[in-house]
Structures are given as C-alpha cells and as structure tokens.
Amino acid sequence: MSNIEIYLDNNATTKPLPDVIKSMLPILSSGFGNPSSSHSAGERVRACIKEARKQLGQLIGADPNNIVFTSSGTEANNTAFYSATRGKNEPCRILTTTIEHSSIRKMCSHLRITGADIILLPVDPRGNIDLEELRRLLKEGIDLVSIQWVNNETGVIQPLAEIVAICHENGKVIHTDAAQAVGKLEINVDDTEVDFLSLTGHKFHSPQGIGAIYCRDKFLLAPIFFGGFQENGFRPGTENVSGIVGIGKAAELRRKNLEDHIGKMRELRDYFESKILESVPDTMVNGDPSNRICNTTNILFGGVDGRILLKKLDTKGIRCSQSSACTNSQPEPSFVLKAMGRTDKEAYSSIRFSFSIENTIQEMDRAVDLISRTCEEHH
C-alpha cells in the first residue's frame, strides 16, 4: 500500500478546508450553546446559524428564509418527496429519470410499494434527457417531477431552467437534487424558480453530516420529523451548529472564489482526461463531453476489468470509484451507465475520477503514469 495518497474521488466527499475547520472550533469549545435556549449562550449560536444561512443563500442565489438545514442531501431529498406527495387521496404519480441518486431511487421504490405510480424519463447515450419527451409525459397527471441537476457519476448537466419552465407551464411541482451542482455552477435558484432544491455541504469542502433544502414556497414544505420548533418547525431536533457554521463558511469561500475554483477544477479534469486518452489504449469518456460539470470525468477502459483496476490503483494510493459512494458496495454494474446504453462489461470497465481545488497538476501526472502502467499490467 502506497504512503502517497492522490484523492480523485471528490464527488464522494471533499476534505474540509482549514478555514472551515477553524470556523467550527469556537462552537465546539467556549462558543457552544443550544440555539433553543433563551439566554445569551443560545443567542450567540442562533446568530451563527443566521449568518450561515445567509452565506449559503448567497452561494445559491436564494432568500435565506427559504433554506432549511438538514443532516444530508438524502434527508433533503426525502423531505422534498414527502412534502410533495403527502395527503393525496389517490396514489401519487412521480416523474423522475433513470439516472437519479440512490436516495431518489429508493424513495421511489418505497412509494411504489405504497401504490404510487413512478414514471421514468430515459436518457440518451450521452446522458441527456429529451425535453420533448418530458413535455409529453407531463400531459399525464403528475404530482412531482424530480430531475437531478448534475449526475454524480458522469457529471452530465441537465438544462434545469428549461426543465423548470416546462414543468411550470404544465402546473407541475419540480424538485432537483443539486448535490453535485452547488459550488461547481453559478446558481441563482430565485431566478430559476425551481420549487425544491436539495444540497449537501461535503461536496464543496464543508464537514459531512450537514445539508439543506431550499423551498421556493415554504407552505409546500412538510417536516418528516416531529418534535421542537427548530428550523421554524420544518426540521425538529437540536441543530448541528458546528456543521451549519461549517457549511456556511464553505459556501462563503466558494462564492468568493467561484470562477477561479471552477476554472482550476476544469483545467485539472481536462489535463488528466487528455493524458489518459492519449496514453491508455481503448479509452473513451462516458457522458456528453461538452455538457459536464467542471470536475468530473468517467472513463471507459476497454478490455480492462474496472473492479480489479480500482483495487490495484487503491494499493498505489489513487482513490477513485466506479459509481456513487452510496452504491459502491453493490456488486452490480453502474445503473447510470446501463441507462445510457452501456453493456455490463463496459460499465464494469468504467471508472469515475472527480477533482477538487486541492488537487495539483503534479498529482495528475503521477496518477496518469500509475494508471497507464497498471493498465499495461492488466492487459
């Protein structure tokens, strides 16, 4: 096992930045308190939460009052689905895609068992949905549309503004899982007018265990927990104050440097990708190369078993993955790549590499060299 780690799995999680950790330390020491307390210790942490909500709102272009903190993107996704489908006298109908995150897929499986009708919108071989097919399917009675903004495996970006416009033309509620979009795209949700947006902080260098849901109209939002009046009653339970402060600081840092950070991640991705395609035979990119998020590449290594390659690279210090961290323990090939028309063999031969602002060109050169030599050994 190599002592040198090159971490290229930043769509799974990113390392909290030093300034983020520093911002959290007072809350974990002398600046602690319960936000529900009426005394001054409660006041000081309530002020911290208010500032973090403002910082996150500025990153995504949202009124802070429309943001509710959660424990994760998964919880935010579940909250959106529950809010949009609760209290229906008839079985609800949900339109989503064949390439959603596992938290959406499993929520749909649960709702299907309870009688819901789940309609799946396919994608083409490049990972894009068909807007005309979306229009056609919306003619049927639909209670909720949920379409991932950026795919976590391929990085393919769906045209959210157009999707929202089509949904609203047809009077439909639209949710987007934006876990891989926030901090990597310029976002203004108030302009986009999406009804629900889910996000999680650990994709842009906040600590793990903190996410949020944006709701354009909070009258649409319904809590999935019951208890106190935290988060104005929309998310009962004592707040994760240190995590909230952390996501706020991470959002502030990303907003101030967004253009530079996007540019750096794209430069690293493009450099790495071009070097791999040049040096390793029978390689190709999965997904629309002209319509991807700045930090992601998913590469098919023809004639190579990606599962074996992944393990060999791990022993050499390169951290990468074949799918979402939430599904990596599954032995099946990527359902995202299968939905795009890849065979089982092609899906098994594919590996996702995702980059962060902390990666370097030197790491790219070393990683390409190790990957190239490992593929030669494997052929």
Q: Give the mean model confidence (pLDDT) for residues 158-186.
A: 97
Cα 7 to Cα 310, 355, 367: the distances in Å are 13, 8, 10
Q: Is the pLDDT of residue 326 over 60?
A: no
pTM: 0.94
What share of the chain in percent tops pLDDT 70? 97
What percent of the chain has a predicted confidence (pLDDT) above 90? Answer: 83
pLDDT at 88 over 80: no
Of the listed ranges 85-89, 200-204, 300-304, the one predicted with least confidence:
85-89
**Is residue 207 over pLDDT 80?**
yes
Element (H, E) at 284: strand 283-285
The average pLDDT across 205-223 equals 93
* Confidence class for position 247, pLDDT limits 50, 70, 90: very high
Higher-confidence residue: 91 or 174? 174
Among 215-224, 238-247, 276-285, which is the least confidently predicted range? 215-224
Q: How far, in Å, are 304, 351, 370 from residue 318 at the CA level?
A: 17, 12, 9
Assigned token pair, 270: 């493009």
Does the structure show a pLDDT above 80 at 89?
A: no
Extract long-range pairs of 33-36: CB within 8 Å, 24+ residues apart: 33/241, 34/238, 35/230, 35/238, 35/239, 35/241, 36/228, 36/229, 36/230, 36/238
Active site residue 326: yes
Is the predicted pLDDT of residue 378 greater than 80, yes or no? Answer: no
Residue type, 310: L
CA angle 309-359-242, nearest 5°? Answer: 110
Which of the following is catalytic: 92, 167, 294, 326?
326
Q: Which residue has the tokens 């509710």?
A: 68
Residue 132: Cβ within 10 Å count: 9
